[in-house]
Structure 1
Amino acid sequence: MAHILVIEDEPVSRAALASYLAAQGYGVSEADSAQEAERILSEQVVDLMLVDINLPGKDGLRITREQRALSDIGIILVTGRDDEVDRIVGLEIGADDYVCKPFNRRELLARIKNLLYRTGQAGHAARQVHRFEGFCFDTRSRRLEDANGETVPLTRAEFEVLHHLVSCAGQVVTRDVLMGRMTHRQYGANPRTVDVLIRRLRAKLESDPANPAIICTVHGEGYAFTPHVS
């Protein structure tokens, strides 16, 4: 199921909305500021953000502008303001939808479902689970678990690189191809930055990252995912 990030500085409203969405089966994270939201986005794969415009410090419009420059993530602005200017500006800078408080939860849920469907994260496609070297990699929920059943956190870019490598297990994949698989170029346009993601993945997957046995370097060509995948 999709992962939703609720960015709201009012704790009661934030907790109530997060609880409601969790009860609908979504994975939910909470942030009370732009700084906390950015930390979560750097550590986890998030499919949709509910962003309060009226945040202290960096407000919801600035968060929207910055995240839209980095990602195709779904963004719904949530605010107590009913100023038409805010709605228009929010949509112009990249928000997908806009709701005003107080809102009907069922209406908001319908908007969330519609947006997730449009962005391809609704989960209607067949579930894909890959197992290798004790790991379980569910590409629909974007969840990686180790042999102990513990979640291994992946950023969106790490997920996309690992997903393509697993899909091409046993084949050599070039840096350019891996770069092309990233839906947002938050690491710049240099394919060499893929090496950074590979090092981070090795740190999470390999028993000895200095001597990798899962993601191997093919000198002069790229990388190969070598384990048997079931």
Structure 2
Amino acid sequence: MTAGAPATDTSTRATQAGGAPPRSGALRTALLAVIAVALLVIGGALAVALGIGDDEAPATPGADSVDAGFSRDMSIHHDQGVEMANLALERSTDPAIRGLAFDIAETQNNQVGRMRGWLALWGLTPTGGERMAWMADSHTGGHDMSGMDGALMPGMATEEELAELRTLSGTEFDVQFLRLMIRHHEGGAGMAQYGAEHADQAVVRSLAASIGDSQAAETSLMVGLLSARGGTPLPPP
């Protein structure tokens, strides 16, 4: 070594020569191994969630299945519930009504996202098929529900009723909102019960049961709020 020349360690010389510092190859190998294990774990979890590789997992639902019909129709039903709840958030000044409306909008928006996500996962569109054809007559009061228009699904408000609601304010608005939302929840109860009992996918049955339970509790709350404001419920759907 020439006197006065700077010292150069082994790793620096290796790097300058075009090589990698010692142990860098081993480090990369270890990191790749960790990543591979993580991907296997994630893939396995996804496979379990979707039933991939499980001979006992239900087949992907078809367009005419209870799972698909419930997910499509309950999403549409929820859409109107969210619309009315958002209207209450805009027009009502009653804290109890606003709190209720916020809970309904947040909960049902989340549930719509889940149901439409399933439909996309199953390769199905969020619309199409015969409305309510997935429910047997015994769960719809003995009436034929197939081929019905979306606005006439059980408990849903007509366009005329929604237009009238938009013209109201104050307690008059609160009373009519509660009347329409009570009927809306009651109309969806049969759909939720049927989905909970007859869907093939466990996630669909679980959500349907949850919808039925939460909306029954909300209905009881709304009946009390309506009575306190001098209103009476609309006829059952």
TM-score (norm 2): 0.24
More helix by share: 2
TM-score (norm 1): 0.24
Q: Which gives a bigger RCO, structure 1 or 2 (Cα 8 Å, sep 6+)?
A: 2
More strand by share: 1
